[in-house]
Chain A
Amino acid sequence: MDNKRKTVLHWGLGGGAAILLSLVLTDPYLRSVLTLMAISALLAASLRFVMLMGELNFALAAFAGLGAYAAGYMNTALSVPFVLALPLAGLFTAVASALFGAITLRAKGPYFLLIGFTFTEAVRVVYSKIPALGGTSGMIGIYPPLSLDDWMAGIVVATSVILLLGLFAAERSDFGRILLAIRENENVARSVGVNTYLCKVIAMSCACFVAGVAGGLHAFVNTVISPGDFSYLLAAFALAYVKVGGENYFLGPIVGAVVLVALSHYAIGLGGSEHFLYGGAIIVAVLLMPSGILGAFGKVGPRSVETKVRAARHAV
């Protein structure tokens, strides 16, 4: 009970501070950076959720794209209001990813990763061939209601906090334990009656719901989307956020996203290419901080399920 209360307190303070920050920031540039951090953190947390069961979901970019295009199409062509378009985009993505997962999650490791990669690139070609989705030049005019315009940063951060809380609760539940068991010793899970295949599909679908909403938020924040926004690089960046922040920590992808997005904006200011910084940060993280920033600077924040995952994995 004591631990539970502590967790609620941490979430209240952390989430509240982030939302407050998004509301008090007046500089539009800083607000846009904060928004990008929140969306990036969502994508990275989605990627990490699938990593809990030992798979790298490189189809992340495709599903973020599906969410963005679904939200954009609903908003521009079907006049679905913003507050409905966002969750519907998430649901659409969740269903699409469940179908994708049901077909592809028989494959594992590098095979699953490669399927995700090719799916991402194939879906991009599909967008560019459909005139209703704007073809190669993309979709424009995806506006949130004018009355919400000033509150968009707050809405993005608050939505992110809620979705992250959902992923956190799932990770800490018995479902999270099953995912970890699937990663490390799938036979154990099967031997106690768990349908591991179904669990993988559900995990994939939950993670992609989050990615879909993140894509929808991106569409409404940017007001313009194009196939180029959703290349496999998006998944590669998300992986960088997870690794740099600390894969073994729930807060890892959030810290990674905040640090790397801040770093990339700093680099743009210097006139340099942020991609060098991403690459550099990943190399530094892998060489000097194999457990990421959180791993290097102690036990900050809630850890993933009583971990030592890395140590245990190497000890096998």
Chain B
Amino acid sequence: MRSETSPLLKVEGLCRNFGGLMAVDTLDFDVHAGEIFGLIGPNGAGKSTTFNVISGFLPPSGGSVRFRGEVLPGGKAAAASRAGLVRTFQHGSYVRSMSVGDNIRLGTVSGTPRPERAGRVREVAALLGLSDKLGETAGTLPHGLQRLVSIAIAIAAQPKLLCLDEPLTGLNETEVGTVLKVLDGYRRAGDRAILLVEHNMKAVMTVCDRILVLHHGTFLATGTPTEIRGNDDVIHAYLGQAHAK
């Protein structure tokens, strides 16, 4: 899966502190095209902060984020997105009062020519099984479908790196299956990758090619799912014996 060419995302020495608290401390990792890269760790490990800094929602305190060879300007979310790095949020990234169709269309406004937008909306809706919900108000949908709308908006923006912040929370088995299938298909396009923060370990171990484990804002381990499951430090700090192999 992993290409040997230059990485899509290269994070070097990334730091972010909030006053005296070092939320992310000197973090290095690469994400290559064609892979799903998992970012896991206990609550407070610094996953969301890492996500916020990479996606430009927070400026870094130190270090750099290089995306497709270019250093991203810190704290410029829209610029990161236009460069091809699009993220979702833990607590729903959609507009409650708008229809599902209008929500997905939002994803197309800055990168898709106007005449192609309607077609793109239908295409993404079909991918996520939302075709018959296009006219419904997003705020009135069940939680699981709202999660799918968030992912649909991000996919509609055609990112090269899709960053998903706990996309599976609150989804039932069928919906988890749908999302994992979509993610797998997305990765298979070859020139794209997915950065996934998720607590559903079964899903993470199934779908990720490589995993990075964070603990107290610092690097704990990295490797394939099999390696991570067998890592004593990770078992001790996060996974427990249930997920260990």
Using a CB–CB cutoff of 8 Å, the interface residues on chain A facing chain B are: 174, 177-178, 180-181, 184-185, 187-196, 305-309, 311-313, 315-316
Contacts and interface: CB of A to CB of B under 8 A. Distances in A.
B102 A193 contact: no
14 contacts: A174-B109, A177-B98, A180-B98, A188-B93, A188-B106, A188-B153, A190-B81, A191-B88, A192-B106, A193-B82, A193-B111, A193-B157, A305-B97, A305-B102
B107 A192 contact: yes
B105 interface: yes
A230 B10 CA distance: 56
A190 B106 contact: no
B33 interface: no
Contact of B97 (A174, A191, A193, A312): A312
B81 A185 contact: no
A184 B96 contact: yes
Given A174-B117, A177-B106, A312-B137, A191 B93 contact: yes
- 4 tightest Cβ-Cβ pairs between the two chains A and B: A193-B110, A193-B81, A312-B96, A312-B139
B97 A308 contact: yes
B141 to A, nearest CB: 11
B14 interface: no
B64 interface: no
Contact of B86 (A177, A178, A185, A191): A191
B45 interface: no
A178 B154 CA distance: 15
B111 A185 contact: no
Interface in B69-109: 77-78, 81-82, 86-89, 92-99, 102, 105-107, 109
Interface of B: 55, 57, 77-78, 81-82, 86-89, 92-99, 102, 105-107, 109-111, 114, 117, 135, 137, 139-140, 153-154, 156-157
A171 to B, nearest CB: 12
Contacts of A181: 95, 98, 106
A174 B97 CA distance: 15
A306 B81 contact: no
Consensus secondary structure, chain A interface: helix
Contacts of B154: 191-192
Nearest to A196: B78
A106 B109 CA distance: 23
B140 A191 contact: no
A178 B105 CA distance: 10
A313 B96 CA distance: 8
A140 B95 CA distance: 49
B97 A180 contact: yes
A312 B109 CA distance: 23
Contacts of A191: 55, 77, 81, 86-89, 93, 154
Given A184-B97, A311-B97, 9 more contacts: A177-B102, A188-B89, A191-B87, A192-B153, A193-B110, A194-B109, A312-B97, A313-B96, A315-B139
Nearest to A307: B97
A305 B81 contact: no
B109 A308 contact: no
A174 B105 contact: yes
B199 to A, nearest CB: 21
A307 B135 CA distance: 11
B97 A313 contact: yes
Considering residues A192, A307, A309, A312, which has the most beta carbons from chain B within 10 angstroms of its beta carbon? A192
B97 A178 contact: no
